Chain A
């Protein structure tokens, strides 16, 4: 067994999990508090990457790209909430699906109009381009940074949600929105902040991945589905659930892609295992979600006080 490969894959799984968490944490709050399905959350991921790329191209500083990108995404999120999402909180879920599906089309085309059809590569400063060597293990500096940034944001979010007044309102909103409103809280402002915050975090995920994959149109449309799986598995409205579910799914996805054929090989001939493994590994997270929905529909870690 190649232990270096195993550790590298574990780190890759952790990285994917943390990116998923950045996407899913906003999604789960918007879902849990406003009861709003936002399919276009993946567009925030894409726009974040393009914002960051544009700033990097102008200033040459990746840090400036991320910081200005975050501000930009907060504004984009606030605008979408103000002009569109707000009008829909009381309609049914079908309307949410339709409008946010429309928003995906709009955002994809706007990006096409502004930045062109081809992707945008984001160059990294030399300091981030190297490799970390630990004994015989080699891991890129930048991927380590993604993991560190993901953990940092998770920690900040944890403090925000458990230790501040805003966090208290967010938790209360996820458990029982009507009660929060009845207690005289300005629920509209809370919604606006949560939505914009979620957009900024989705944008951050896009900014972090773009130097590896480059920013491209529709880059968020696949990962957003996985983020939804995270939200459902973790329990709608639960930050803690989103965190654990994101890590679990990130690891399952990465590990099954590299090791499932080996495992299947124990039970069936090589030829079958090599055919079945890729299909099964791609389906694994959906199978997990279907199982959770069938046997524990409220998710693995539902927010406190939810029935």
Chain B
């Protein structure tokens, strides 16, 4: 049984992926379309959180403005659709190129700063995006914009039905997880992780860390814009509200719940966050209080998030075995 994951955390993640794959069939069989919607939303956010984790967890770049790229992706679906351009490839190409250019320019400025300043400047740039969309009267301003039809793709890869959209989401999620994994284990990734721990040493080794970090930032933004494209298609409605700084705060929260700097932590963290949000809000209107207390407790006492706790099980098992 060597092909089985050897750690508790690895087995849990494998089980989750195996359960996620047939989800549309399971929910259709159980006649619960609502839960498929909930899961779709969670997985879309998970893509954004995976991309944030790439710069935050592996690169140590704490961005408080990552929701801007979700917004950019979503508006790259919304604005062309407003003019009746529904071609999905066009939407994807626009989202990737606009987010990459925006990340390249703002990242080039932001990455000149460190620590607190980086947090604040990324937030400032996302506020700029927020106010830009807020003032675009043509595209609904703060009332938002309705997208009447999903992005159009060839028949075999359409995203018209909930199930097919779900598989789009699932495929892109797997792709981004795989991509981030390959990236972090590549020479490029080693430099990124290395400059998080000791940038001066990486520079002494001859790496232009600024350029590496900027590239990483742009890649992360592009992945995040994919989540935006999916979110625009999923909700059929976009508004500047998707970009506010509190949204970016929530994304960081999801990274932390799962465990920073781990591959599957962001996925698990996001699912837990979305489920908690859904079910707590059913129980009480004061669910934000529970969320807030959880967040404070998580930082003060629960280092490492869910991934950290699962790894703890491994360590216990190793001690006994």
Contacts and interface: CB of A to CB of B under 8 A. Distances in A.
A97 interface: yes
Contacts of A289: 120-121, 124
Which of B109, B113, B138, B295 gathers the greatest number of chain A CB atoms within 10 Å?
Answer: B295
Interface in A248-303: 275, 278-279, 282-283, 286-287, 289-290, 293-294, 297
Nearest to B138: A275
Contact of A103 (B110, B116, B119, B292): B292
Contacts of B136: 275, 279
Contacts of A103: 292, 296
Contacts of B125: 286, 290
A256 to B, nearest CB: 12
A176 interface: no
A61 interface: no
Contact residues of B: prevailing secondary structure: helix
A232 B253 contact: no
A205 interface: no
B299 interface: yes
A221 B112 CA distance: 27
A105 B116 contact: no
A294 B112 CA distance: 7
A144 B113 CA distance: 39
Interface residues of B, number: 46
Interface string A83-124: 010011001011101110111111111101100000000000
Contacts of B156: none
A105 B115 contact: no
A78 interface: no
B116 A283 contact: no
Nearest to A40: B292
B310 to A, nearest CB: 20
A104 B292 contact: yes
Given A99-B300, A225-B127, A105 B289 contact: yes
B288 A109 contact: yes
Contacts of A287: 128
A106 B128 contact: no
A113 B290 CA distance: 13
Contacts of B178: none
Nearest to A100: B296
A97 B289 contact: no
B119 A95 contact: no
12 contacts: A39-B249, A97-B252, A98-B256, A106-B292, A109-B286, A229-B124, A232-B117, A282-B134, A286-B124, A290-B124, A293-B112, A297-B113
Given A88-B300, A102-B292, A289-B120, 15 more contacts: A88-B299, A93-B119, A101-B295, A102-B294, A107-B292, A110-B289, A225-B123, A225-B127, A228-B123, A236-B116, A279-B131, A289-B124, A290-B124, A293-B109, A293-B113
Q: What are the 4 closest A-B residue pairs judged by CB atoms, nearest first?
A: A102-B295, A105-B292, A106-B292, A282-B131
